[in-house]
Amino acid sequence: MEPNKLLDLYTRILRIRRFEEQVGTLFAQGQLPGFVHLYIGEEAVGAGICALLRDDDYIVSTHRGHGHVLAKGGDMQRMMAELFGKRTGYCKGKGGSMHIADFSIGMLGACGIVGGGIPVAVGAGLSAKTRGTDQVAVSFFGDGASNEGSFHESLNLASALALPVLFVCENNQYGEFTPAIQAMNIRDIALRAQGYGIPGVIVDGTDALAVYDVAQEAVARARRGEGPTLIEAKTHRRGGHAEGEEAFLGGQQYRLADELAAARRNDPLLKLHTFIVENGQIPLETLETLDHEITQAVTEAVAFARASEAPDETILYEDTWV
């Protein structure tokens, strides 16, 4: 991979990591309302896929969506303000963590309903095909969503109509607190592609370069008008389902010991960092400067969010009927 591409990939991952770390801290301090689902540990998937997309390509995300917004090029300040419920946020404080969208860069929204965004992505693909463009639509979802009817209807529909869609399953091994292997009788979700007559590919979702490679073919196939691909990115979530989950789990443990160990071994940021260092294409100080800049940007995003005003009653009744 060319150094500038590699640096781009690394930047996307690092932006997500530093943003999410800060969000975790803020939530633990009780500064953020509602629920927060962090993308730490899964960054390589969103980054690897989005690094291949154009601004006019579409993505639809999940409840664990911060990483997808950032990977697609979203603005940290407007995101952070949204998490604080402020009027300067992406959705004027009406969406929150699980519903951030940025239509200007094809980010059609995160989604609080498991599997709820998949049909919407299919519609974006249908739209691209009908309008005769070579845009593609990417649907991100988790292992849990692959048990929802919407997943199965969407794969079949996109396959039957040969739509330019990438179905990207981030298999982080748990649907909420239930191990995926307990919720389905197969190990590989990619197998499900066979039932719909489309390619199903498994990739190490903690390896950004591997994700990028696999997605390259899937994106090209979609742009050529040959239809959808299911990519199963096997990954791990570093933390829990939701921040602060200890409070409602009452101290019960659910992580499988070997999976937790694997999660710690397979850090996508560390993996790419190691690769870059061993490869020697990018000076270490470039990476350090980048980290410093991103950390600074996160700090500024928090300051921006804090300084922003809360939405008022006019905003409550805005954005209803056109």
Partner 1 sequence: MPRKTYIAAIQAALAEELRQDPNVILIGEDVRLGVFAGTRGLHAEFGDARVIDTPISELGVAGAGIGAAATGLRPVVDLMFGTFLYLAFDQIANQAATMRYMFGGQTRLPVVFMTQNGGGIGAGPHHSQPVHPFFMNLPLIKVVMPSTPYDVKGLLKAAIRDDNPVVFLNHLSLGSQRGEVPDEAYTLPLGKAEIKRAGRDLTVVAAGLMVHHALKAAAELAESGIEAEVVDLRTLKPWDEETVLASVERTGRCICVDESYPVCGGASEWAACISEKAFYALKAPVQRISNAHVPIPFSPTLEKMVIPQPAAIVAAAHRVMATTLPERN
Q: Which residues bind partner 1 (CB under 8 A)?
A: 58, 60, 89-92, 94-95, 99, 101-103, 108-109, 111-113, 116, 118-131, 137, 149-150, 153-154, 156-157, 160-161, 318-322
Comparing CB distances to partner 1, the nearer of 28 and 113 is 113
Residue 78 CB, shortest distance to partner 1, in Å, is 10
Comparing CB distances to partner 1, the nearer of 68 and 236 is 68
Comparing CB distances to partner 1, the nearer of 185 and 320 is 320
Angle between helices 284-307 and 76-83 (to 10 degrees): 40
Residue 317 CB, shortest distance to partner 1, in Å, is 10
Residue 92 CB, shortest distance to partner 1, in Å, is 4
Comparing CB distances to partner 1, the nearer of 1 and 126 is 126
Residue 277 CB, shortest distance to partner 1, in Å, is 40
Residue 101 CB, shortest distance to partner 1, in Å, is 4
Residue 7 CB, shortest distance to partner 1, in Å, is 30
Comparing CB distances to partner 1, the nearer of 160 and 303 is 160
Residue-wise burial string across 50-79, b where 16 or more C-beta atoms lie within 10 A, e elsewhere = bbbbeeebbbbbbbbbbbbbbbbbbbbbbb
How many whole angstroms separate alpha carbon 136 and alpha carbon 128?
A: 7
The token pair that represents 84 in the structure block: 């604080």
Residue 94 CB coordination number (10 Å)? 16
Residue 38 CB, shortest distance to partner 1, in Å, is 21
Non-local CB neighbours of 200 within 8 Å, separated by 6+ positions: 188, 190, 191, 192, 193, 194, 229, 230, 231, 232
Comparing CB distances to partner 1, the nearer of 150 and 173 is 150
Comparing CB distances to partner 1, the nearer of 56 and 288 is 56
How many whole angstroms separate alpha carbon 282 and alpha carbon 291?
A: 14
Beta carbons of 165 and 134 less than 8 angstroms apart: no
Candidates 209, 226, 210, 223; CA nearest to 56 is 223
Comparing CB distances to partner 1, the nearer of 124 and 211 is 124
Residue 111 CB, shortest distance to partner 1, in Å, is 8
What are the backbone dihedrals phi and psi of residue 137, each rounded to the nearest 5 degrees, phi first? -120, 135
Comparing CB distances to partner 1, the nearer of 192 and 234 is 192
The token pair that represents 306 in the structure block: 């804090």
Neighbouring C-alpha atoms within 13 Å toward the C-beta of 55? 6
DSSP 209: H
Residue 246 CB, shortest distance to partner 1, in Å, is 28
CA distances from 149 to 154, 188, 190, 202, 292 (A): 8, 18, 16, 21, 44
How many whole angstroms separate alpha carbon 109 and alpha carbon 279?
A: 36
Residue 33 CB coordination number (10 Å)? 13
